[in-house]
Structure 1
Amino acid sequence: MNIAKHMEAVFVVALAAAGSAHFVADQLPQAQARPAAIQDSSIATETRMAVVVVKGKRPGAGKPVVLAARSGAGSRI
């Protein structure tokens, strides 16, 4: 298919897509962003050190995580 032959149709489709996207975007409500609440326990002072607690499971739970096999060759084209 020769794209230069159908450029008018491509332009009309792109124009229709942009127009409909604009119409849909006008219907969306505006984002209501507000700053995060800062807790007193997370602020360091001269007598107290700030502490960060990270909760979550370890990804391997005792097993080593293998990101890439070293035995195989690189990508083949």
Structure 2
Amino acid sequence: MNIAKNMEAIFVAAIVVASATSFATAAVPAMHSAAPVAAVAAKADTSKMQVVTVSAKRLTAAEKAAL
């Protein structure tokens, strides 16, 4: 199918869709919040922080090659 022949129809269809979308969204009221909510950053409690200790030996070059 030759798209060049149908470019006018494609353009008109795109304009119709864009116009319908703009009219449909124009009727929707904008959402306004009553008051902005302040973001409160939680302070990290380091006394309860989980710590992982790995007590394994590292692989030698020969062991790495065997994998």
What do residues 37-58 of structure 1 show as CA deviations (whole Å, max 9, x unaligned)?
Answer: 456xx5xxxxxxx6248xxxxx
Alignment: residue pair count: 44
- 1:73 is matched with none
**What is the 5 A alignment of 1:37-52?**
37=38, 51-52=43-44
Following TM superposition, the consecutive aligned residue runs of length 4 or more in structure 1 with deviations greater than 6 angstroms are none
TM-score where L is the length of structure 1: 0.45
| RMSD (Å), alpha carbons | 2.4
* Rg comparison, structure with higher value: 2
- 1:36 is matched with 37
Gaps of at least 5 residues in structure 2 are 46-67
* Structure of higher RCO (CA pairs closer than 8 Å, 6+ residues apart): 1
